[in-house]
Structure 1
Amino acid sequence: MTEPHDDAQAAFSGVRPVDPRHALDEAALDRWLSAHVEGYAGPLTIQQFKGGQSNPTYRLTTPSRTYVLRRKPSGALLASAHAVDREFRVISALSAHGFPVARPYALCEDEGVIGSVFYVMAEVQGRIFWDLKLPGLQPPERRAIYQAQVETLARLHAFDPATLDLSDFGRAGNYFERQVSRWTKQYRASETEPVSAMDRLIAFLPDSLPPDGETRIVHGDFRLDNLILAPDAAEVRAVLDWELSTLGDPMADVSYLLIAWAIPASLRNGLAGADLEALGIPSVEEMVDLYAAQTGARPANLPWLFAYNLFRLAAICQGIAGRVRDGTAASDHARAMAAQVQPLADAAWGWARKAGA
């Protein structure tokens, strides 16, 4: 996303008291944890993580260990959004095959416990970086982190969904067609004011789709601040936030990762205009080469892929705008996110023009 990067590490890291809008029934939760989570023993202390725009996320602290709880927000929600049950399923499958995710403990589909579906996983200790320029690190450290990021994505895309028992986790084929349709519907369902660039994109994207690629597990939001790295090494300990994961074209994840190089460096998640060589951060071409060395695959028609991903981000931000309007947004930063719809749409249309629009 595209918030200003000043003090991003402090703004997004760690926990805060639970927002009253997202308060939990602690006694009911304690009873459920005692019955369903191996090794759980209270007393329980609950705090809310600062980061995260979509599903409220909590740290559960007990005398012996800490857990993380992810829940659907309360209130009216867009269809297919906030799918924490799907998150639990995919991390359970990946954990069983050694992919770096937090250990999943249990899923609760009984909305009567805390008011919505939720799941509990282990808290993974390590570093989350909220600014892509990685301030405070040395160039070799930055390069190693970016290499680890690409290698982890390639490792995800190496899985045959059938091997993970995830053949039915989404539909095979027509991935970009279905995604453009989905995000168009999500955007229209939460639209608050006309955005002409979005209207043009909604007309252009379905008529200019790339050919189908192979079907793999697609994370859907694979970026640096959804990774937990080891405290003292460029080792990915866990990939977070699987809400948008499905079966699809791996080039969607690759190009989503690469749009950071098209976003201005004045923003915390932008690298365009930064002195990448001095920072030690790979170029787009180097990132593509790193991914290709692991998988043998390369993205084609990056301008179209960038237009699609920025359109998708604009639709996600519009969904946040709708939740701000409805009072269900999960983050203090939601209003700033909602304000990004217009600039993201404009940027997407700029790439669409380069793709032939």
Structure 2
Amino acid sequence: MVRDERLPEPDAEAVAGAARAACGRAVAEVTPVSKGINAIYRIDFADGDAAVLKAATFNTTAELRPEPYLLETLRDETALPLPEVLAIAEDGGPLGVFHFLLDYREGRQIRDLDGLSWSERERLVRAVGRHLARLHEFRLAETGAPVAADLGADDCGPLRMTDPGDGATPTFTTGDGVDSWGEVFASLADHPVSLVEQVQCGDDPGRFADLVPEIVAAFDGVADDVRDPASPTVLHRDFHLDNLVLAPEADADGGVGIRSVLDFGDPYVGDYRLDLAFAEDAVVRVQLPTADRAADLAGLLRRSYARERGIDPSEIVTREYHYYLLVQRCRWMAVAVDWDACDDPAAVERAYRSFVRERLAEIE
């Protein structure tokens, strides 16, 4: 759910006023952060501390509200490394729009996987598997945190909150009706599939035109094909490198130290495999190494995840998992590939085609 029209982003003076009002601290500097779809700013306080302010200029208040409350709850209930919520401005404060402040986490971010050694990529994959598993171990219905949960075992969909007005306890919910996970996934899948159907493929709008009918046919009736998860979990839906702040050095157990996980701006409740497939695409297949090496890393990610959760890795790759992988590949096929920057565009195209056909074969 987004606004009918994006709100103008507030200027630095207004943001500084909002930070002062929310935290009661003098502000030295405000810097816009060009990340995400809502307005985001780095706040440097006069005492040397730093924070991040996020304002609902694109999402509606109802859509963005769960993020800070969910972060507070996850910090209390899990071992997931998350920024501390410093303030939540339900009334909009000086900005006149819902916003919140988080402590700023210093660290590094990796955007060029090709710059990592094989051992570094393995450590990164293991760390991602562990931390994603820690998120999925969280159960809303079991939390004793200040935020309640109005969710049953079969509830799936976008995670929203009741309006906490007049001091009432805010409550997590997935909405008025109960949709099947298949119906929820069908709505999530519609956008990337429709992009591929439009064949928006960079320099060559016909590059994957021959695959489009098969992809569209594969998702016809997907709402009935995708089964409900046995135990729905809270999904991040964007567990990729831009949302991971890494420590400068490896952590004590030999992994890449993930200092913080960011951006819970659009959480859902559903099948854990969706998050895992999206993470696999982001940290393994986004630049598509050779098929054997990609398979090795994907297996490592799943084993790391399964070990942390105490499940059998063989449970992960179901028919649904191939649907989830295909959705992510559709996004890249449609809009995200810079073909001019590829060292060997023909090889990348062949890899995409091979990957898509493998997923289609598993779905049939």
The correspondence for 2:55, drawn from 56, 65, 71, is 71
* TM-fit CA distance, 1:84: 2.4
- The amino acid of 1:219's aligned partner reads H
- The amino acid of 1:61's aligned partner reads D
Q: Which residue of 1 aligns with 2:280?
A: 258
**2:23 is equivalent to residue 41 of structure 1:** no
Q: How does 1:8-47 map to 2 (within 5 A)?
A: 23-37=9-23, 40-47=25-32
User: Which string of whole-angstrom CA distances, capped at 9 and with x for unpartnered residues, describes residues 249-289 of structure 1?
Assistant: 222212222234774xxxxx333417749xxx952222222
The correspondence for 1:146, drawn from 125, 134, 137, is 125
- Between Structure 1 and Structure 2, the one with more strand by share is 2
Structure 1 pair 143–349 and aligned structure 2 pair: CA distance change class (3 A): closer
**2:75 is equivalent to residue 95 of structure 1:** yes
**Number of equivalenced pairs:** 300
Tell me how far apart the structure 1 counterparts of residues 216 and 183 of structure 2 sit (CA, whole Å).
17
Structure 1 pair 309–144 and aligned structure 2 pair: CA distance change class (3 A): closer
- The amino acid of 1:252's aligned partner reads L
Structure 1 pair 285–120 and aligned structure 2 pair: CA distance change class (3 A): same
* TM-fit CA distance, 1:316: 10
Contact 1:201 1:311 in 2 (8 A): no
Tell me how far apart the structure 2 counterparts of residues 256 and 65 of structure 1 sit (CA, whole Å).
34
Tell me how far apart the structure 1 counterparts of residues 220 and 61 of structure 2 sit (CA, whole Å).
23
Gaps of 5+ in 2: 1-6, 157-178, 200-211, 251-255, 339-348
Instruction: Specify the SS of the correspondent of 1:247.
Output: strand
The correspondence for 1:168, drawn from 142, 147, 150, is 150
- The amino acid of 1:287's aligned partner reads L
Q: Which residue of 2 aligns with 1:7?
A: none
Q: Which residue of 1 aligns with 2:300?
A: 286
Instruction: Specify the SS of the correspondent of 1:73.
Output: coil
Tell me how far apart the structure 2 counterparts of residues 253 and 205 of structure 1 sit (CA, whole Å).
18
Q: How does 1:215-226 map to 2 (within 5 A)?
A: 215-226=232-243
Contact 1:156 1:217 in 2 (8 A): yes
Q: Which residue of 2 aligns with 1:355?
A: 362
* TM-fit CA distance, 1:151: 1.1
Q: Which residue of 1 aligns with 2:170?
A: none
- The amino acid of 2:32's aligned partner reads Q
Considering only aligned residues, what root-mean-square deviation do their CA atoms show, in Å?
Answer: 4.0
- The amino acid of 1:66's aligned partner reads A
Tell me how far apart the structure 2 counterparts of residues 335 and 261 of structure 1 sit (CA, whole Å).
16
* TM-fit CA distance, 1:182: 2.7
The correspondence for 1:212, drawn from 226, 229, 237, is 229
Tell me how far apart the structure 1 counterparts of residues 305 and 196 of structure 2 sit (CA, whole Å).
39
Instruction: Specify the SS of the correspondent of 1:228.
Output: strand
Structure 1 pair 46–283 and aligned structure 2 pair: CA distance change class (3 A): closer
* TM-fit CA distance, 1:70: 2.0
Sequence identity percentage? 22
* TM-fit CA distance, 1:180: 2.2
Structure 1 pair 307–108 and aligned structure 2 pair: CA distance change class (3 A): same
User: Which string of whole-angstrom CA distances, capped at 9 and with x for unpartnered residues, describes residues 170-209 of structure 1?
Assistant: 9625663143243256679x97984555643441422321
Tell me how far apart the structure 2 counterparts of residues 129 and 59 of structure 1 sit (CA, whole Å).
20
- The amino acid of 1:271's aligned partner reads L
Instruction: Specify the SS of the correspondent of 1:172.
Output: coil
Tell me how far apart the structure 2 counterparts of residues 296 and 44 of structure 1 sit (CA, whole Å).
46
Instruction: Specify the SS of the correspondent of 2:88.
Output: strand
Q: How does 1:183-222 map to 2 (within 5 A)?
A: 183=188, 194=198, 196-197=212-213, 199-222=216-239
- The amino acid of 2:259's aligned partner reads R
* TM-fit CA distance, 1:211: 4.5
Structure 1 pair 224–255 and aligned structure 2 pair: CA distance change class (3 A): same
Gaps of 5+ in 1: 1-20, 264-268, 322-333, 337-342
Tell me how far apart the structure 1 counterparts of residues 244 and 271 of structure 2 sit (CA, whole Å).
21
The correspondence for 2:39, drawn from 56, 78, 85, is 56
Structure 1 pair 116–169 and aligned structure 2 pair: CA distance change class (3 A): farther
Instruction: Specify the SS of the correspondent of 1:232.
Output: strand
Structure 1 pair 183–159 and aligned structure 2 pair: CA distance change class (3 A): closer
Structure 1 pair 95–143 and aligned structure 2 pair: CA distance change class (3 A): same
Structure possessing the higher relative contact order (Cα contacts under 8 Å, 6 or more residues apart): 1
- The amino acid of 2:267's aligned partner reads S
User: Which string of whole-angstrom CA distances, capped at 9 and with x for unpartnered residues, describes residues 123-168 of structure 1?
Assistant: 10111111334x1x44443322222221111111222222255633
Tell me how far apart the structure 1 counterparts of residues 90 and 317 of structure 2 sit (CA, whole Å).
41
Q: Which residue of 2 aligns with 1:326?
A: none
